[in-house]
Amino acid sequence: MEVLSILLEWGPYLLGGIAVTLGLVLSALVIGFILGLPLALGQVYGSRPVRALVSVYVWFFRGLPTLILLFLFYFGVFPALGLDFPAFVVGATVLGLRGAAYQSQIFRGGIQSVAEGQMTAALSLGMTRWEAIQSIIIPQALRISLPGWSNEYPELLTDSAVCYAIGVVELMTRSSQIVSQTYLTMPIYIACALIFIALNYGGMQMIRKAEERFAIPGFGGTAVQS
Amino acid sequence: MKGEYILRVENLHKNFGDREVLHGISFDVKKGATLVFIGPSGTGKSTLLRCINQLTEPDRGKVFLDDEEITGCGARISGFRQRIGMVFQNFNLFDHLTSVENVEIALLKVRKMKKENARAKAMEELRRVGMADWADHYPAELSGGQAQRVSIARCLAMDPEVILFDEPTSALDPELTREVLEVMKDLARSGMTMLVVSHEIGFARSVATEVIFMEGGRIVEQGPPLEIMNNPKHPRTREFLGRIEHD
């Protein structure tokens, strides 16, 4: 009974972490998308120096553990640039930069699996290469990428807990704080785990909906035979 | 003599590595003519078409559209391509767009037409190829013949001066071939200038103003269809025609 009353007492504080965690995840998804798509385009269509630059970026951000990246940016890169960002901003940025590296590779795969004839046909109609990329290649590449891209959400959700290390008061940080106040180690961490599972499930449901919403015959095995 | 020929091709050469695919091709096309290119596969017919709208860049030689040089025109190539339509063996319809969207996209993005004008024009072209009832279907929902007719409509929407047909019926069975050839015959009769790479001898016989027999990257023989079909001068032409007519 005592456990229950403690949980009820601290519940609102713990649940308040949902907004912070989702804030981290959504910011990182958006940053990752905004940077990841141009990175992918650069890697497929760019000149040799551009392709090399993208490769270095991807190699760097995929090659280091999230925790090290967080420390490097929180204690090193941002202070060196004279930027005094709150931990949340650093966390979202680092997760986003890292996500961009992963997303760029998902989109690159999507772009490369658009049939070559699509570009040829677009050019033959008098589109410039850039017009063809915008109106023909990207819309198809994004649809092809969606299933792979949807993995980014659970990846980021679980990764976001590492922001605990730089003091972002998200779910994990709050759980630890409550544990140190109440010594109810397992009940609190189990509650925290259940919240993560619920967020994961809810997010994936929304992604499913989006996949159905953007489904087109001929993409992803939904072809209709006439 | 300006204006006599809509399209002129002068001494086109193209190599892929060591392989010489086009070996000095020259011909002129009068407005409203239908040229049918025949010959064994791998003799550079498709490469020739792609060199005309510079999808493949020729190594040497010139192409003129209405006396303006296309070859080496740099960024102006998009402008020329708007005036030269192309129909592909595999249709190459945009898979994420419905039939009508396929036809209107270049009107919107290239011609910058207003949405409702582009839609009206696209529907008109779909009607012309008998595909208006399929306007809202995606390419994956169409038969090969229907897809090819939509791709012809997509081409026509740009009001091209010349259309290049790169083996437009090779991926189709005889029944579907017929429906595509009907559309092409109507186009030829309406005065469209057409360059057609095809093995459809019947089409060549009934519609072509000129048949060009190519082999080994060269033009072996050219002339009016009946002359080439009934009385080929070159032994290679005779041999080739004999082989196809037996098929």
Minimum distance, in Å, between the CA of residue B235 and any CA atom of chain A: 36
pLDDT of residue A223: 38
Flag if B82 and A126 touch (Cβ within 8 Å): yes
Distance, CA of B194 to CA of A88 (rounded, Å): 64
What span, in angstroms and rounded, lies between the C-alpha atoms of A173 and A165?
8
Q: Which residues in chain A are closer than 8 Å to B86, comparing Cβ atoms?
A: 121, 124
Q: What is the CA radius of gyration of chain A?
A: 21
CB within 8 Å: B82 and A125 = yes
Query: Which residue in chain B is spatially nearest to A144 when comparing CA positions?
Result: B96
Distance of CA A35 to the CA centre of its chain: 11
What residue type is B45 in one-letter code? K
Residues A10 and A182: their CA atoms lie apart, in Å, by 9
B109 has a pLDDT exceeding 70: yes
Contact (CB<8Å) B96/A140:
yes
Closest CA of chain A from B138, distance in Å? 6
CA A73 – CA A94 distance, rounded (Å)? 7
User: Are A195 and A18 spatial neighbours (Cβ–Cβ below 8 Å)?
Assistant: yes
Q: Which helix (H) or strand (E) is A6 found in, with range?
A: helix A2-45
pLDDT given for residue B42 in this prediction: 84
Structure tokens at A184: 């109810």
Contact A126 B79 (CB under 8 A): yes
Is A139 a residue whose pLDDT tops 80? Answer: yes
Task: Provide, as residue numbers in chain A, all residues whose Cβ is less than 8 Å from the Cβ of B55.
Answer: 120, 123-124
Q: Which of A117, A128, A226 sits opposite B142 (nearest CB)?
A: A226
Place of tokens 């030689």: B61
Angle of CA points B41, B205, B234, to nearest 5°:
55
pLDDT greater than 60 at residue A224: no
Q: How far is B7 from chain A (nearest CA, A)?
A: 17
> What is the arithmetic mean of pLDDT over B12-30?
93
pLDDT at A43: 95
For residue B172, report the phi and psi dihedrals to the nearest 5 degrees.
-115, 150
Per mean pLDDT, which range of A147-151, B2-6, B149-153 is the poorest?
B2-6
> How many other CB atoms sit within 10 Å of the CB of residue A99?
26
pLDDT in tens, A54-104: 999 999 999 999 999 999 999 999 999 998 899 999 999 999 999 999 999
Q: Which of B109, B137, B146 to mutate to test the interface with A (most CBs of A within 10 A)?
A: B109
Please give the Cα distance from A220 to A222 (Å, whole number): 6
Strand ranges in chain B using DSSP code E only, listed in sequence order = 5-16, 19-30, 34-38, 60-65, 68-69, 84-87, 162-166, 193-197, 210-215, 218-223
Work out the minimum CA distance from A106 to partner chain B, whole angstroms: 19
Strands B5-16 and B19-30: antiparallel
pLDDT band at B144 (very low <50, low <70, confident <90, very high): very high
Is the C-alpha dihedral spanning B134, B140, B145, B147 positive or negative? positive
Cβ distance B36 to B225 under 8 Å?
yes
Per-residue pLDDT, A220: 57
Q: How far apart are CA A171 and CA A25, in angstroms?
A: 12
CB-based contact B109 A226, cutoff 8 Å: no
Both tokens assigned to B244:
């196809």
Taking residues B94-107, what's their average pLDDT?
A: 96
Q: How far apart are CA A33 and CA A150, in angstroms?
A: 12
Within 13 Å of residue A128, how many CA atoms lie on the same side as its CB? 6
Asked if B212 contacts B27 with a C-beta cutoff of 8 angstroms, the reply is yes
Characterize A40-78 residue by residue with b for buried, 16 or more Cβ atoms within 10 angstroms of its Cβ, and e for exposed. bbbbbebeeeeeeebeebbeebeeeebeebbeebbeeeb
Instruction: Check if A113 contacts B (Cβ < 8 Å).
Output: no
Nearest-CA distance from A221 to chain B in Å? Answer: 11
Domains and CATH numbers, chain B: 5-246 (3.40.50.300)
- State pLDDT tens for residues A113-123: 999 999 999 99
* Integer Cα distance of B148 and A120 in angstroms: 16
Q: A225 pLDDT exceeds 70?
A: no
pLDDT score for B8: 96
Q: Do A126 and B81 touch (CB under 8 A)?
A: yes
First-last CA distance in chain B:
43
Residue pLDDT, tens place only, A92-135? 999 999 999 999 999 999 999 999 999 999 999 999 999 999 99
The SS3 assignment for B77 reads helix
Specify the DSSP class assigned to residue B214. E
What are phi and psi for residue B222, nearest 5 degrees? -145, 150
Residue, of A42 and A147, whose pLDDT is higher: A42
3-state percent breakdown (helix, strand, coil) of chain B, nearest 5:
40, 25, 35
Asked if the Cβ–Cβ distance from B140 to A224 is below 8 Å, we say: yes
CA distance B86 to B164: 5
Distance from CA of B140 to the nearest CA of A (A): 5
Please judge whether B96 and A143 are an interchain contact, meaning their C-beta atoms are less than 8 angstroms apart: yes
Q: Which CATH class is domain A20-171?
A: mainly alpha
Q: Please, what is the average pLDDT of chain B? A: 93
Q: What is the pLDDT of residue A221?
A: 45
Q: What is the pTM of this model?
A: 0.88
Find where tokens 């949980």 sit: A7
Residues of B in contact with A131 (CB under 8 A): 109-110
Least confident of A109-118, A201-210, B25-34, B110-119: A201-210
Residue B110 has pLDDT above 50, yes or no: yes
The overall average pLDDT reported for chain A is 91
Of B94, B137, B154, the CB nearest to A136: B94
Handedness of CA B21, B27, B30, B32 (dihedral sign): negative
Give the residue on A whose Cα is nearest the Cα of B79.
Answer: A126
Return the domain boundaries, chain A: 20-171
Within 13 Å and on the Cβ side, how many CA atoms surround A81?
9
Cα B45 to Cα B81: distance, rounded to the nearest angstrom: 19
* pLDDT at B11 > cutoff 90: yes
Backbone angles phi, psi at A119, to 5 degrees: -65, -45
Q: How far is B55 from chain A (nearest CA, A)?
A: 7
Assess whether pLDDT exceeds 50 at residue B118.
Answer: yes
Task: Give, in order, the Cα–Cα distances in Å from A63 to each of A77, A114, B1, B77, B126.
Answer: 17, 28, 67, 43, 52
Region B129-138: mean pLDDT is 96
Using CA coordinates, name the residue in chain A closest to B164.
A124
Angle in degrees, CA B119, B120, B124, rounded to 5: 115
Chain B residues touching A123 at Cβ < 8 A:
55, 78, 81
Q: What is the mean pLDDT of residues A156-162?
A: 95
Distance of CA B66 to the CA centre of its chain: 17
Segment B131-141 shows an average pLDDT of 95
Task: Count residue pairs from A and B with Cβ separation < 8 A.
Answer: 86
Nearest residue in B to A216, CA atom: B96
> Do B141 and A217 count as a contact with CB atoms less than 8 A apart?
yes
Diameter of chain B measured on Cα atoms: 56
| DSSP, res B73 | -
pLDDT tens for residues B166-197?
999 999 999 999 999 999 999 999 999 999 99
Residue of A nearest to B138 (CA): A217
